[in-house]
Amino acid sequence: MEMLAYTYIEKRRFGLIKKTVPVLLDPRDAIVKVTLGSICTSDLHIRHGSVPRAVPGITVGHEMVGIVERTGSSVSKVRPGDRVAVNVETFCGECFFCRHGYVNNCTDPDGGWALGCRIDGGQAEYVRVPHADQGLSLISEGISDEQALFVGDILSTGYWAAKISEIGKEDTVLIIGAGPTGICSLLCTMLKKPERIIVCEKDPVRADFVKKHYPSVLVTGPEDCKEFTLANSAHGGADVVMEVAGSDGSFRLAWECARPNATVTIVALYDRPQILPLPEMYGKNLVFKTGGVDGCDCDEILRLISEGKIDTTPLITHRIPLSHIEEGYRIFENREDGVIKVAVTV
């Protein structure tokens, strides 16, 4: 049986080609019929050739929901017919890192970001999910595909960022970057109910999006950010900074806006190395947290969605069928038409 799969053909070239529908390769696998997927900035990184681990020939896409089609003999969490959110990360659940919740560093050969990078992903009609008991989360009846779409990737990232940032009730939290992951970080920060949240965003469309949907949040631009944060915090800067922009100068801005002894969480994936000028920050005694999401809270996130505490549906600004996915990429990459996220219908 054949299906359409959007494929990393070579550097700078993706193509929608026909492939064989995936089959179970391991008793822990599940085959999921994709019902809704999305395009992520990391997909663009693969196309630009800035993800060295990405394997040419693989189907891209790592943010999706669908219906379980088949399960291997040792899969027990899900059954055929179940609606599921797929985790961007593959993890065994048994190794040292998994047992501590650091699933991004799972030592399994497939561990970490594999789907749509090292193994076939979900911008296709079907996807094989290894370690399905870890990588799939049941979507309950009251939750739509669109509500659950970002659970496995950008919403997990925002949830993780807010979790590791140790946000207190009296804190001013500065979030740099209001792209899709920045907004997910904002939503999860709001759950912690800090005293104040400031979002720094240079793109007027994205700044307006934040003002419109989250009126309690203060919004500033990169030029004024330092002064604005100083004026809107109690101890000479933000108590917590999340750097979700990953643009030129945003790393520097992040630690400059932090108060002494603040936590600075680096969520962004940079294209280039960043400079950590230790002499300049000596005595500021900052705590830096860096790296990629440990996506082990999907079930909890789905529960919060079902309770109405997180809603990412406003992020879906465009809906494109898989057959027209090129157009979705064009809109997303060029930030046309006020796009935040493109949902790919299958």
Q: Which residues bind Zn ion (CB under 5 A)?
A: 40, 42, 91-92, 95, 98, 106, 153
* Least distance from Zn ion to the Cβ atom of residue 307, Å: 25
User: CA-to-CA distance for 126 and 5, rounded, in angstroms?
Assistant: 8
Q: How near is the Cβ of 188 to Zn ion at its closest, in Å?
A: 16
Least distance in Å: CB of 231 to Zn ion? 34
- DSSP string over 152-166: TTHHHHHHHHHHHTT
Q: Which is nearer to Zn ion, 98 or 218 (CB)?
A: 98
- In the complex, minimum distance from the CB of residue 63 to Zn ion, in angstroms, rounded to a whole number: 6
Q: Which is nearer to Zn ion, 43 or 69 (CB)?
A: 43
Q: How far is the CB of 2 from Zn ion (least distance, A)?
A: 27
C-alpha distance from residue 131 to each of 32, 97, 290, 299 (Å): 13, 15, 26, 16
State how far the Cα of 63 lies from the Cα of 118, in Å rounded to an integer.
Answer: 15
Q: How far is the CB of 294 from Zn ion (least distance, A)?
A: 11
Among residues 337, 327, 300, the alpha carbon closest in space to that of 39 is found at 327
Residue number, 106 or 301, with CB nearest to Zn ion: 106
Query: Which residue, 42 or 87, is less far from Zn ion as judged by CB?
Result: 42
H-assigned helices in the chain:
41-47, 96-99, 132-135, 145-148, 154-164, 180-191, 204-213, 225-231, 250-256, 278-281, 298-306, 325-333
Backbone angles phi, psi at 81, to 5 degrees: 100, -20
Within 45-140, strands assigned E span 64-71, 83-86, 89-90, 112-113, 126-129, 136-138
Q: Between residues 96 and 276, which has the closer beta carbon with respect to Zn ion?
A: 96
Is the sign of the CA dihedral 150, 274, 294, 210 positive or negative? negative
* DSSP-assigned letters across all residues of 130-187: SSHHHHEEEPPTT--HHHHTTTTTHHHHHHHHHHHTT--TT-EEEEE--SHHHHHHHH
Please report how close the Cβ of residue 214 comes to Zn ion at its closest, in angstroms.
22
Nearer to Zn ion, 180 or 237 (CB): 180
